[in-house]
Amino acid sequence: MNIETSQVAVSRRKFSGKQVILFVGLAVMATGLGVIWWMNQYVYATMFQPTRLAESEQQVLNAKMAHLLQTADAASSSQSQPSPSTPDEALEPVPYSEIDANREIQLTEREVNALIATDSYMARHMAVDMADDLLSVQLVVPINHEMPIVGGKMLKLNFGLELSYADGMPVVAMRGISLGGIPLPSAWWGDIKNTNLVEEYGDSGGFWDQFSKGVEDMKIQHGQLYVLLKE
């Protein structure tokens, strides 16, 4: 009698075929909704709002760019918008001199983003953050319309780049790359995570070697990029 009773109880606990299909369907639906939520939250992205400087900030940036690019003197750069030279303007001959030359480049996070904003396309697809010795870049990349499901959407990519100076040479190292908030394996992008590119490739006599020879100091502190060039 006890055996028959236990067999009946076991048979009652078994799910029918329709119930199994229902549970599987619910699980697939829940997984699909979760993936869609994650994609909308972390992968698909809206475009950035361009950085707009206040008039006083714009004047400071104009003066820096005028000095750096030598396209205008400091007086003309004090206007709210830089006035580019025209072909009709005649250049005045002046002797070359490096006396009292300023070899420093200093740009704040807002100034960098404002420079990016001068290009209407880049302003909506790129934003930069500066922490101590860390430059973080957010990119919103449009996906080809011909791609199934995700075509026409925006893909959010983030990467961090260490910028500093140590042991007599600049340090330029990738901290990581993430897609939708998920860090991508270093093997997928060349196994160069936390590798100083200047030290790794500076011996070849190429770009990184020449870059290193021209930099006296480099750092990011308090939201400001500072680069000191050698003579």
pLDDT digits (tens, 9 = 90+) for 138-152: 888 777 767 666 566
Helices (H), the chain: 2-13, 17-38, 55-69, 109-117, 120-125, 197-201, 207-213
CA 213/CA 230 separation, integer angstroms? 8
Q: What band does 71 get if pLDDT is binned at 50, 70 and 90?
A: very low
CA 103/CA 227 separation, integer angstroms? 8
Residue carrying the six token digits 């270093």: 186
Q: What band does 174 get if pLDDT is binned at 50, 70 and 90?
A: very high
Contact call for residues 49 and 64 (beta carbons, < 8 A): no
Kindly give, in sequence order, each residue whose CB lies less than 8 Å from that of residue 108, ignoring residues fewer than 6 positions away. Answer: 130, 223, 224, 225
CA 139/CA 123 separation, integer angstroms? 10
Q: How many CB atoms lie within 10 A of CB 198?
A: 19
pTM above 0.75, yes or no: no
Reference 229, options 215, 208, 219, 218; nearest CA is: 215
pLDDT for 196-210, tens place per residue? 999 888 876 788 888
What is the length of the chain?
231
- Position with higher pLDDT, 201 vs 34: 201
- Position with higher pLDDT, 180 vs 69: 180
pLDDT for res 70: 57
Contact call for residues 157 and 45 (beta carbons, < 8 A): no
pLDDT for res 97: 77
